[in-house]
Amino acid sequence: MVIHFTAIKNTSIRQRGVQLCASFWLYIFLTYSFNVSAECEDPDTTGFLLPDVIVSQEGHSQFSKREDGSISIKKDNIEKLSRTFGEVDFINQIGALHSVSSISDYGSGFFVSGTQPSQAQYLIDGAPVAFPYRFGGLFSTFNTDHFSSMVFSRQSGSDMAPRLGSAFSLSSAERFRSGAEGNCNIGMMASSISVRAGFANRLSISASGRISYIDQIYKKWLTTSDIGIKYDFKDFNATIAYRISALDVVKASCFLSGDKIGYDDIKYSLNTSIRWTNTLYNVSYERKRRNTFNINAYYSRFNNAIALGMPQMMVNGPSYQHTYGMNSKLSSNNQRGKIASWNCGLNFIYTKDIPQWASLESDDATGTSIRFSNSYPQNSITSTLYGGAGLWIIPEKFKLTAETAIGYYSSKTIGHRNYSALIFTPSLTLIAKIPRGAVNLSCAHPCQPVHQVGFSELGLATNYMISANHEAPMQRALAVSGNVTQNLLWLGLTAEAGAYWNLVKNQAEYQGQVMEIITIEYNPFAHLIISNGYNYGAYLSVARTFGKVTGDFNISYGNGLRHEPNYPEQTWHALNSSGLTLKASAQWHEGKHWTLYASFVLATGRRYTPVDALYMISNNIATEYGKRNSATLPMYNRLDAGATYSFSTGKNKSLRHNINFSFINALGHRNVEMQYFVLNSENGDYYLKRLYSLYRFLPSLSYSIEFK
């Protein structure tokens, strides 16, 4: 018997492997119905302010673009940003930008100018955090209240760890003047508190914590006669800064975060649990004179474990990554009117990885037996010297910036040959000022020695790291981009148009399933597909950046093709092909109390591999798939809206209160997250089943208070 399908499409092999995890998230989301830096320098040192996103503040937008194209925002405007379940999140604010897409409600990370989420890096005071997402990617592990700023760069700089994609750099907030300040936030799923205190204008101590109460409040609704679900998360930040002099500061910081998920299917006697933790310790010293000198040392750890419990069997699949690093940098101070700027430094990273492996504990006639799959510990060293220089060839008119990192990477993997590669990451940027605007052109050759692969694109830490080796060589790319920004003459509008093209090599994707780890011969390298190809895209954005009413509208298109290295003629669409995306947002700021905002997204659905036919052979199902990633889910659209009421009380109005009420997917549109076939065991019929996002008309209420 053969069944053919033309209009009906199925999900990809990898998506089928995560149906269990997806169902878990659907239950959780149902019960909860109830981006970007203020850098030390004056933003005006860029010579022009060209906003990419809009903040609801009367006067002008605090989001601005610097010379290098990175986006910044001041701490003072964080409370005016939109909230998700009561959380203001630095990272998710980036989703409003053009050429940035997630293509999914449950996706973790962003596709930025054709790069993948695994190619981005996240830094706290210059030190890396491996997996920064929780709750299906809805918000990050970072407590915004602890930080003073975040810089978002579409391309990682040569002074960072080698990566192909974007960089999110957060800076801890400090208070050296005597006294204390802080804030407290009460949201739908968690509450947080952040406090900063200064002593004698030299010592600053800050600490922040966040804890969830999902199980305590929603346990009844998370448990049925067949299903039991648990979810818990928490994080903690602490920073101590000592000012030796007005120009010398020593800082120590730590970051701890943990998530724990449990899903018990009583009907099928199946228990699933996932745990992941981030740990970061960092010490830095900064000295400012005519030039600035920075040095920092850090230790970063990411632990991840997925466990499956079945009758007479327990399977554990842990992995972890430990990173030790040191970075030193000497740079000229960026001052207005300065013709030339430069920087140079050293970056050293030692990494110890253990990719996913499995232990199997089972009961048989002879009693309990425990078996282990092979683990493949990896040790790698990345060492680079970097430097760059910028020169205004025509002062305040035409600037040329060039930088590069030169270094060496080597890795040792148990059971594999040693691997080494040269690191060479040159980049060139041209900035030309034109009347009421600017033109920016750039070309870069980045590389990335670490692969992040996993079972799904969901916001679960089922991903793990694999250091580059002979089976999965170092990723490389040639990235070319350009944009034109113009302040228009009417209605205070700013327009921007841009395009990018990336030639990529050695992109790693995981084609296995969660259940693969049940086999004791499990090998994390066996399911990797290495491909080459290219990405391209373009965008157009128009924004109004001042006054009581601000807003923006942008439209973008992105696509990507991949092929196996030995078969260049056999191409397929990349998973990060975002297609056509339309975004619009608007804010109204009354002045003293009210802020109203709304945002809308309409986008091409996520790509997947369709099923062309199903065969029944001896009561077994055989599937015939179509071309890889050749189909798309239905169009995605979502409208979010909210309002914040702010007021001050206390002596000298020292207390600032914010009450926020918002809706996620206010129109209640049913966005398809995945689709697959279900077999009716009684009559043998097959039918298409769609899993919809449960972000449908979800209200959220939160309250925060800030004291100074």
For the chain, how are helix, strand and coil distributed in percent, rounded to 5? 10, 60, 35
Pairwise pLDDT comparison (664 vs 295), residue with the higher score: 295
**Residue 464 phi/psi, 5° resolution?**
-150, 165
pLDDT at 365 over 80: no
Domain residues for the domain of 334 are 2-707
Average pLDDT over residues 689-697: 78
Which residue in 208, 204, 207, 230 sits closest to 217, CA to CA?
230
Laid out side by side, the sheet with 147-153 consists of 64-65, 71-72, 147-153, 167-172, 121-124, 127-129
> Rounded to whole angstroms, how far apart are CA atoms 255 and 372?
33
pLDDT at 333 (0 to 100): 76
* Residue 431: HSE in the Cβ half-sphere, 13 Å Cα cutoff: 21
Distance CA 49, CA 54 (A): 12
Cα 568 to Cα 57, 69, 531, 620: the distances in Å are 51, 34, 9, 35
Q: Per DSSP, what are the bridge partners of residue 370?
A: 361
Residue of 274, 322, 271 whose CA lies nearest to 135: 274
Residue 115 sits in a domain whose CATH number is: 2.40.170.20
Which residues lie below 8 Å from residue 598, measured CB to CB, with a gap of 6+?
A: 585, 586, 639, 640, 641, 642
- Per-residue model confidence as pLDDT tens digits over 250-287: 999 999 999 888 878 776 677 888 888 999 999 999 99
Residue whose entry in the numeric block shows the structure tokens 């000298």: 652
Question: How many C-beta atoms surround the C-beta of residue 232 within 10 A?
Answer: 17
The residues, ordered by sequence, that sit 6+ positions from 352 with a Cβ below 8 Å of its Cβ are: 321, 322, 323, 377, 378, 379
pLDDT in tens, 515-528: 666 676 778 888 78
What CA–CA distance (Å, rounded) separates 313 from 364? Answer: 10
DSSP assignment letter at 107: B
Length of the chain: 708
**In the predicted model, is pLDDT for residue 17 greater than 50?**
no
Q: Which two tokens stand for residue 183?
A: 């804030």
What six digits make up the tokens of 414?
A: 């148990």
Calculated CA dihedral for residues 373, 419, 129, 529, nearest 10 degrees:
-60
Residue 230, pLDDT score: 81
Give this prediction's pTM.
0.86
CA–CA separation, 386 and 159 (whole Å)? 6
pLDDT grade for 679, boundaries at 50, 70 and 90: low
pLDDT value for 347? 96
Note whether 544 and 53 are within 8 A (CB). no
Q: Running DSSP on this structure, what letter comes out for residue 515?
A: G
CA distance 465 to 354: 8
Tokens of 266: 């009583």
pLDDT at 32: 35
Nearest CA-CA partner of 524 in 413, 409, 418: 413
pLDDT, tens digit, for every residue of 482-527? 999 998 887 778 899 999 999 999 998 877 666 666 676 778 888 7
Q: Taking a C-beta distance cutoff of 8 angstroms, is the pair 243, 249 a contact?
A: yes
pLDDT digits (tens, 9 = 90+) for 106-163: 777 788 988 988 899 999 999 999 888 886 677 789 998 899 888 999 899 899 999 9
- Of 79-93, 431-445, 450-464, 647-661, the range with the highest mean pLDDT is 431-445
Q: For the CA atoms of 153, 121, 189, 277, what is the dihedral angle to 10 degrees?
A: -160
pLDDT in the model for residue 44 = 31
Q: Which residues contact 414 (CB under 8 A, 6 or more apart)?
A: 375, 376, 377, 378
How many C-beta atoms lie closer than 10 Å to residue 587's C-beta?
Answer: 23
User: Does 18 or 594 have the greater pLDDT score?
Assistant: 594
User: pLDDT tens, 299-309?
Assistant: 999 998 888 88
pLDDT of residue 664: 85
* Range from 245-249, 261-265, 343-347, 569-573 that averages highest in pLDDT: 343-347
| pLDDT score at 442 | 94
Give yes or no for residue 8 having a pLDDT over 50. Answer: no
Domain count, the chain: 1
Give the pLDDT mean for 693-707: 83
Q: How far apart are CA 386 and CA 402, in angstroms?
A: 11
HSE, side-chain direction, 13 A CA sphere, residue 152: 24
Q: How far is CA 128 from CA 125, 145, 383, in A?
A: 9, 19, 16
What span, in angstroms and rounded, lies between the C-alpha atoms of 428 and 134?
36
